[in-house]
Amino acid sequence: MKLNYYPDTDSLYIDLSEQTSVESREISEGVVLDYDAEGNLVGIDIDNASAKVQLNDLTLSKLPSKVHTVAA
């Protein structure tokens, strides 16, 4: 899973899978869910993210994986 914030467009994309998106559905204004060919959720796109998501704090708890931080 990857979280990617794009400050120039104030959008946040959450990659949930390495699968390619083939369908997108807007579930509320500026929030789009992406699905693969099998109907599995593979990503979440949030426009105007700074107004919808608390971007200044991220807490990860008990994830069974390594955490990688990439500087912007």
Asked, for residue 63, whether it belongs to a domain, the answer is: no
Asked, for residue 62, whether it belongs to a domain, the answer is: no
Tally of residues, the chain: 72
CA distance 33 to 45: 6
Instruction: Report pLDDT for 58.
Output: 83
Asked, for residue 64, whether it belongs to a domain, the answer is: no
Instruction: Report pLDDT for 72.
Output: 61
Phi, psi of 50 (to 5 degrees): -65, -20
**Number of folded domains in the chain?**
1
Asked, for residue 59, whether it belongs to a domain, the answer is: no
Which domain does 30 fall in, by range? 2-52
Residue ranges of the chain with per-residue pLDDT less than 50: none
Q: Say if residue 17 is exposed, middle or buried (CB neighbours under 10 Å; 0-12, 13-18, 19+).
A: middle
Asked, for residue 25, whether it belongs to a domain, the answer is: yes
Instruction: Report pLDDT for 43.
Output: 98
Say which residues have a Cβ less than 8 Å from residue 15's Cβ, sequence separation at least 6: 1, 2, 3, 4, 42, 43
Rounded to two decimals, the pTM is 0.87
Asked, for residue 60, whether it belongs to a domain, the answer is: no
